[in-house]
Amino acid sequence: MMIKTGLCRISCLLLAVTTWLLTVANAQADRPNILFIFSDDHAINAISAYGGPLANVAPTPNIDRLAREGVLFVNSFCANSICGPSRATILTGKHSHKNGFMRNTGKGLDQSQWTVAKALQANGYNTAVIGKWHLMTDPVGFDHWEILPGQGNYYNPVFLQQDGRQQRFEGYATDLTTEKALHWLAEERDSNKPFFLMCQHKAPHRTFAPALRHLGAFDSVRIPEPETLFDNYANRSGTLKQNEMELDRHFDWAYDAKVRKDERGSVELPAPDRYGTPEYNRMTDSQKARWDAHFGPKNQAFLKAFQAGELTAKQVVQWKYRRYMENYLSTVKAVDESVGRLLDYLEESGLAQNTIVIYSSDQGFYLGEHGWYDKRWMFEESMRMPLIVRWPGHGEPGSRPTQLVQNIDYAPTFMEAAGLEIPLEVQGESLLPLIQGESPEWRKSLYYAYYELGEHAVPQHFGVRTDRYKLIHFPLTNEWNLFDLQTDPQELTSVHGQLAYQAVRKEMEEEFHRLRKAYEAPPLPTQ
């Protein structure tokens, strides 16, 4: 009798263990994979799904496909418009002052703190990051990583390997990053676990070097100039005039160039045989030959016209703008092709239905607006960042929620999607209710902070944005700018001192201080 009872207990125990294991396995199988496709400096004006003046000029069909099949966030913003800090914000779900990565210089990301990668890895996800990392310390929380050192290169780039090696690969960075991501998905990941893959491109970050197959892609296309290409920086903070990121005076991606003076300042002249770029010296002879065949005649024609005195200072800026846009938009073409290859793989492998696909970029970028080519400022072109999410069965395909969302929201979104608890230290909110078409109580304002110390002569500044108004504070010059985005979407005139906006100014300043207190922001700089 005792033997039968013992056997029964063992049998019951085995049954319970088996049931538990099956439950765990089913839970693992039901948890979604997460594919995070990330680019660098991709302005929403260069994504046709967002509309805008370039939508018909430079379509992005694969990113648009993602938007048609998923959810496009209309009002998506970064908390600090600079590469490394934005990446740190995404991983930690915290503002820069809380995660410690406030600027692109310093010791790098403190990997001892909580990150979404570490949390997903610890809870059964197979994790990987491939491509641009730019956080100065080696990735932690990833089962596999292969990253570009620093900013990385477009042509024949070096990838840092997880075993400490540095290996150079022949080819184009966007293509290589995509191929490495596809290889990991197909050959290296643990198929018994859900995956979290961060496929992160260098493009379209400077030096805006297109793939050889895309040279000339925009030669016959009329690229419209932004209305503010020749912004005079009046009616706003005096710091704007001190900037060093103008296409006119500062666009210096013409290496080995002669420099001449005209009434607007210095003009960079590209070397006769190539549009100068540090990428050129990394190329193979065959790559250089194709590069020279494309850019050589163009540069010769420009030099001839310039030296003959046939071009005004304005026409030189217009020439630089067009060259910049041809190259920038060409690098975007390769990123869009990468998105297509990844989406096709998910479909062909049967993974698409249970995979969340996110497309985003670390911040926006100026495509000639205000005469600029960089980011940093709290103006719309750089503060806005693309965010498109596709999760089959969750949300209405093609929907476009308008709530104010920020990159502090990415980590908690991944956590909730994985069925995991969001730590209290995370300052963002999960976007799943918005993705699924719900209408929860949502934030009415966003906090912004830029901490870099003078690069491109952009001062530290801080601000708050609501659905209609934007307040920017420049503490070192004790200036406040207030913009009515409804009547002045290009942010050309501050109304901070206007009597008609007195009540709005008071409300926005109160909201600015409320957010700083809520997010436990450090004291504003005094020098």
Q: Which CATH architecture has domain 450-518?
A: 2-Layer Sandwich (3.30)
Element spanning 514, H or E: helix 502-518
How many Å apart are CA 129 and CA 115, to the nearest integer? 13
- Give pLDDT tens digits for 449-489: 999 998 999 999 999 999 999 999 999 999 999 999 999 99
Rounded CA gap, 355 and 309, in Å?
Answer: 58
- In this prediction, residues 63-83 reach a mean pLDDT of 98
| Cα distances (angstroms) measured from residue 418 to each of 109, 390, 413 | 24, 15, 9
DSSP 400-446: ---S-EEGGGHHHHHHHHTT-PPPTT--S---HHHHTT------S-E
Q: 486-499: b or e for each residue (b if 16 or more CB lie within 10 Å)?
A: eeeebbbbbbbeee
Report d(CA 476, CA 327) in Å as an integer: 36
Task: List all residues 6 or more positions away from 147 whose beta carbon is below 8 Å from its beta carbon.
Answer: 129, 130, 131, 132, 133, 139, 159, 160
Place of tokens 């420049």: 474
How many CB atoms neighbour CB 392 within 10 A? 15
The DSSP annotation for 51-77 comes to: -STTTTTS--HHHHHHHHHSEE-SSEE
Judge if pTM exceeds 0.85: yes
Averaged pLDDT, 94-109: 94
Domain boundaries, the chain: 37-209+335-443, 216-224+235-324, 450-518
pLDDT at 513 over 60: yes
The hierarchical CATH code for the domain 37-209+335-443 is: 3.40.720.10
Q: What is the pLDDT of residue 29?
A: 56
The stretch 388-417 carries a mean pLDDT of 98
Closest CA to 472 of 496, 503, 492: 496
φ/ψ region of 259 (left if φ > 0, alpha if ψ in -120 to 50, else beta) reads: beta
Per-residue pLDDT at 55: 95
Closest among 350, 411, 360 to 389, alpha carbons compared = 360
21 pLDDT tier (thresholds 50, 70, 90): very low
Residue 524 burial (C-beta neighbours within 10 Å; 0-12, 13-18, 19+): middle
